[in-house]
Amino acid sequence: MFEGFEVRQVRTDEASVFVRHGGEGPPVVLLHGHPRTSATWHRVAPLLVRRGFTVVCPDLRGYGRSRGPAPTADHAGYSKRAVAGDVVEVMRTLGHDRFAVAGHDRGGPVALRLALDHPEVITRVALLDCLPICEHLSRITAEFATQWWHWFFFAQPDVPERVINADPDSWYRGDPQSLGRENHDEFRQATRNPEVVRAMLEDYRAGLTVDRRHEEADRAAGNRIRCPALVLWSLRDDLEDLYGDPLQIWRQWAVDVRGHGIDSGHHVAEQAPEALAADLGDFFAGQQV
């Protein structure tokens, strides 16, 4: 995986972030979702390098080989605001003061936080298979609660750790053929680590508490994404089924939104890498998508 890329561990104020980076040209950051690592981009990142970009793929705070602070009662150490701060520090360490970002799944709210908290840094933002967390929560239905029940299970104290760590391979299933053997092995190794499992759960606990408050404050204040935003969603996932056209929701959060569905299941970077890389490459290059 990631032939020609370098790896390093970058210290931030509160975390130690594992990062892969390679290529030359305008910088782009790719943020993975749960329960993946930066390896989820192993088919997309080289395609973007060929398009002429510098591509940076970090493990989010607490995921994979990144480590964050000890959890606290307010979950602030794993808030999307804190994780976004990691990304800014990592990019400055690598010599990039401005960059584009794409976030998938749990990486999507981090990308949103970057665009809202650091508008002077973010040039373009791509939001993949995601909505703002508060938009999900304001639209809770029986269908949402049934299909996304893990959000609320993960938010419970202590119990999820005991359940998941008793048999992580059964809980986090993955197919080596579809993921790619090295990507699968890295993901599997991470999910067998109780420290990683705890951090991933803190991500969800923060989502229902501190992250929700941050987003609701932005919505009340009328804060919006000012840079161009691309919204992509997997047609064989449930985002459109639950909410209708995601663009209509994101237009309440950004002034310049475009996007469409991709023929894929939820893990689009692994299942439809060529289509995703083509859309991201065109968007980050300023072309019509």
Tell me the catalytic residues: 105, 266
Q: Give the integer Cα–Cα distance in Å for 152 and 224.
A: 28
User: Beta-carbon neighbour count of residue 138 at 10 Å?
Assistant: 12
Strand partners, 258: 230
Q: Which of 37, 41, 33, 36 has its CA nearest to residue 22?
A: 41
Contact at 8 Å (CB) between 227 and 114? no
Contact at 8 Å (CB) between 58 and 38? yes
Q: Which of 118, 117, 84 has its CA nearest to residue 98?
A: 118
The owner of tokens 């999910």 is 191
